Every structure is written in C-alpha cells, then in structure tokens.
C-alpha cells in the first residue's frame, strides 16, 4: 500500500494527534475499515479542498490509542496553524480524534523519517472487578501480578537484540534487530503501567513483550523463561500477545 497521493506544494504542518483507537482499524489507511489517517485526510479535504497524504511517526494496530502521535501534511492553502487546527477539529467530530497541537515546520521535516525515538505505555488494570468506563482502554488481568518480578525480567529485553520471538508474522520490517532503550514496569494501586522506548519497534513487539511479562507477573514464567524465549528467535516460543486495549502511543522525539 502506498502512502497516498503526491503532496502539493505549500506549507508543511506538523500535528500532534490524540485518538481513541476503539472505532478504528489502526492508524494507517485501510480498504476494509475506518482509520485515523483517513479521518484526518477527510477533514483536511473538507477544510482546504485538497487531497493530501498525512504521514505519521508510527503505525498502530486496531484498538491501539494515541496520546500524542506526531504527523504532518503539506497544504497549499494559506492558513494559520491555529485556524487549521480549529477547523480540523470541527470536521473530525464525531470521530474520537483531536488535533491538540499544530505548527509550521521546514519542508524537510518528516513525522516518520525525522523521528529519533518513539515511546509507548501499556496500561493494565490488575483487578477482579470488570472494567466499566475503561473497557477497551486497559487490559484487565484478574490474577495478582508481581510487578517487581516483571520489572526485573523486563531488563533482559533492554538493549540490542534480535526480537524475532516478539515480532508479528506480518511484520514488514527489514530486520528483527532493534535496540530497546527502556522497558519499565510501575505499579500504583491496582494499576500497572509498562513503559517502552526505542528508536523504532517491530509490529506487535510491545504487545508481545507485555504479554510475556504478564506471564512472569502471574508466576507462570520465570525470568529465565523470558530469556529463553528471546534467545530462541522463534515466534512459536512467544508465551502471550497482550490485547491492543491497553496500548498507547505516548510520544515521538525529534531533533531540537
């Protein structure tokens, strides 16, 4: 699938986008269902009359959310960032997508290729009671989780590794080798947040790592089991792929 139609000559706008992933098939334009990219491109067309492509810092799966996804588009119409943001937000309703920041950037700034790092957070509700307003916004795990054991095991995955075990069979990355700069597990009451940071991630990598850490927290896996799964470089050795509900694109980092 191509990134879309050629970009028009004009001003390059960078957006910070917040979205609830539940109604969407993911960020990327899809032929078989709605996407966040389509919603924003449709809003731009409504405001400017222009058919432009919106490029993002990363792609998200169906049901994954965005706290501060970065994206850009080239727009020919003369308009200020504030007026563009206001107009897009008006056209995006009732889709659960909001442009929370809009800036003019140089023409060589690219949301994906200029990005130096990406950060995700995965949210777990560790409780027996069903989720109400958070349904689809966190992963409910009813078994007690040992967050300290999860944090200790998580450090096995930090650094440069072949993450084939934690990579979707549909991943299109050229190499399974990635450098994970952070993987931390933090508990606050019955909530567990898992923070993952890297220059880039493989398809399903974060969800796969979270699923295996949950097995460690349940006592079903040891840290050695996690290390063995990593060293196996075999997707069949994956213990559990966490659902998309609790995953949020948190941040994209760029040069100053």
Same fold flag, 11-105 and 117-253:
yes
Q: Using alpha carbons only, what angle is made at residue 103 by residues 89 and 42, rounded to the nearest 5 degrees?
A: 35
Q: Encode burial over 181-212: b for 16+ CB neighbours within 10 A, e otherwise.
A: eebebebeeeebbbebbbeebbbbbbbbbbbb
Handedness of CA 25, 27, 5, 175 (dihedral sign): negative
Neighbour tally for 137: CB within 10 Å: 17
Tell me how far apart the alpha carbons of residues 110 and 29 are, in angstroms, rounded to a whole number: 18
Six-digit token pair at 250?
């948190």
Tens-digit pLDDT string for the chain (256 aa): 445 444 447 899 999 999 999 999 999 988 889 999 999 999 999 999 999 999 999 989 999 999 999 999 999 999 999 999 999 999 999 999 999 999 999 999 999 999 999 999 999 999 999 999 999 999 999 999 999 999 999 999 999 999 999 998 888 888 999 999 999 999 999 999 999 999 999 999 999 999 999 999 999 999 999 999 999 999 999 999 999 999 999 999 999 8
Residue-by-residue DSSP string for 94-151? TSSEEEEEEEEE-TT--TTTT--EEEEEEEEE--SSPPSTTBTTBEE--S---HHHHH
Closest CA to 161 of 226, 246, 113, 223: 226
CATH architecture of residue range(s) 117-253: 2-Layer Sandwich (3.30)
Q: What is the pLDDT of residue 2?
A: 45
The partner residues of 139 in beta bridges, in order of sequence, read 124
Please give the pLDDT value at position 3: 52
- Distance of alpha carbon 100 from alpha carbon 177, whole angstroms: 33
The CA-based angle 99-111-155, given to 5 degrees, is 100
Residue 218 backbone dihedrals phi, psi, to 5 degrees: -80, -15
Q: Which residues pair with 61 in a beta bridge?
A: 26
- Enter the tokens of residue 6: 């050629």
Sign of CA dihedral 163, 200, 242, 244: negative
In the block, residue with structure tokens 């995953």: 247
Catalytic residues: 61
Length of the chain in terms of residues written? 256
User: What residue spans define the domains of the chain?
Assistant: 11-105, 117-253
Identify the CATH number of the domain defined by range 11-105: 3.30.70.580
């Amino acid at each position: 699938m191509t990134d879309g139609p050629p970009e028009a000559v004009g001003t390059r706008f960078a957006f910070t986008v917040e979205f609830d992933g539940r109604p969407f098939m993911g960020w990327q334009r899809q032929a078989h269902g709605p996407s966040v990219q389509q919603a924003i491109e449709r809003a731009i067309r409504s405001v400017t009359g222009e058919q432009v492509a919106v490029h993002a810092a990363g792609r998200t799966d169906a049901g994954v959310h965005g706290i501060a996804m970065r994206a850009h588009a080239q727009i020919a119409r003369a308009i200020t960032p504030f007026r563009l943001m206001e107009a897009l937000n008006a056209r995006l309703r009732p889709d659960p997508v909001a442009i929370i920041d809009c800036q003019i950037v140089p023409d060589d700034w690219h949301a994906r290729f200029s990005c130096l790092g990406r950060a995700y957070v995965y949210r777990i509700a560790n409780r027996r009671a069903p989720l109400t307003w958070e349904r689809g916004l966190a992963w409910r795990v009813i078994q007690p989780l040992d967050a300290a054991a999860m944090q200790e095991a998580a450090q096995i995955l930090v650094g440069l590794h072949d993450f084939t075990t934690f990579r979707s069979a549909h991943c299109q990355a050229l190499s399974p080798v990635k450098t994970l700069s952070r993987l931390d597990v933090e508990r606050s009451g019955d909530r567990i947040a898992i923070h993952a940071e890297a220059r880039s991630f493989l398809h399903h990598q974060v969800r796969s790592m979270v699923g295996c850490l949950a097995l460690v927290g349940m006592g079903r896996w040891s840290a050695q089991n996690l290390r063995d799964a990593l060293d196996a470089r075999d997707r069949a050795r994956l213990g559990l792929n966490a659902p998309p509900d609790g995953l949020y694109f948190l941040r994209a980092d760029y040069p100053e």
